[in-house]
Chains A and B, each alone.
Chain A
Amino acid sequence: AQKVTQAQTEISVVEKEDVTLDCVYETRDTTYYLFWYKQPPSGELVFLIRRNSFDEQNEISGRYSWNFQKSTSSFNFTITASQVVDSAVYFCALSEAILGGTASKLTFGTGTRLQVTL
């Protein structure tokens, strides 16, 4: 069975601080996909990134960066120089396959609520 653990329930930082959101996953599949989604107060989940299990290269996109380590089954997300607009709940998720462009059965973690204050 697949499982995603986000041990940090809530994190509060002051604007411009760096913050790392942890994600640990469990799966028996050799090929799988990891995602991060952001859920602002409006409610809709917004896709941030997808990573394949066979590609451990870390990725940076602006102030966001992701550290995928297969050896520790972790896929951590770092926001550099956080801003108030980053305040949201962030979910890590795991998919067993992507078939024809469609993710199958995303398993989500319980989320980490990030509060960025001035």
Chain B
Amino acid sequence: EAGVAQSPRYKIIEKRQSVAFWCNPISGHATLYWYQQILGQGPKLLIQFQNNGVVDDSQLPKDRFSAERLKGVDSTLKIQPAKLEDSAVYLCASSLRGQGARVTGELFFGEGSRLTVL
């Protein structure tokens, strides 16, 4: 079974430029998450999708960050314009939904996209 795919793995941009990250979840996983992990910190949830609808975006800085999951499969996270403090690893995760007795709440993570803003 293929894991969560993310691209690009690394991106370096100047402040005020824009950047986009792509995520393809595990096939059949209805829930998709974007997390931001700043160096030395734990991941912080930016947005959670259920199919193509947003479940939680309370911690997404909406003045500069946007995310979409138009067809309920893959997703794009965009930052425009980027700030120095956006330097972080952006992790995408997916999880299964409604599996009856097999309810673990397990999230499957991709390897992340490391963003450096200069």
The secondary structure that dominates the A interface is: strand
B111 lies within 8 A of A44 (CB): yes
* Contact in complex: B107, A101 (CB < 8 Å): no
Cβ of A104 under 8 Å from chain B:
yes
State how many residues of chain B have any CB contact under 8 Å with chain A: 34
A50 to B103: give the CA distance in the assembly, Å: 10
Selected contact of B109 from candidates A45, A109, A111, CB within 8 Å: A45
B96 to chain A, nearest CB (A): 5
Interface size on A, residues (CB 8 A): 26
Known: A95-B105, A98-B103, A102-B50. A4 touches B112 (CB 8 A): no
The chain A residues found within 8 Å of chain B, CB to CB, are 4, 33, 35, 37, 42-47, 50, 91, 93, 95, 98, 100-106, 108-111
Interface residues of B (CB under 8 A from A): 3-4, 30-31, 40-45, 48, 50, 55-56, 89, 91, 93, 95-99, 102-112, 114
Task: Offer 20 A-B interface pairs, CB within 8 angstroms, sorted by A.
Answer: A43-B89, A43-B114, A44-B110, A45-B43, A45-B107, A91-B42, A98-B103, A100-B97, A101-B95, A101-B98, A102-B96, A102-B97, A102-B105, A103-B105, A104-B55, A104-B56, A106-B43, A108-B44, A111-B41, A111-B42
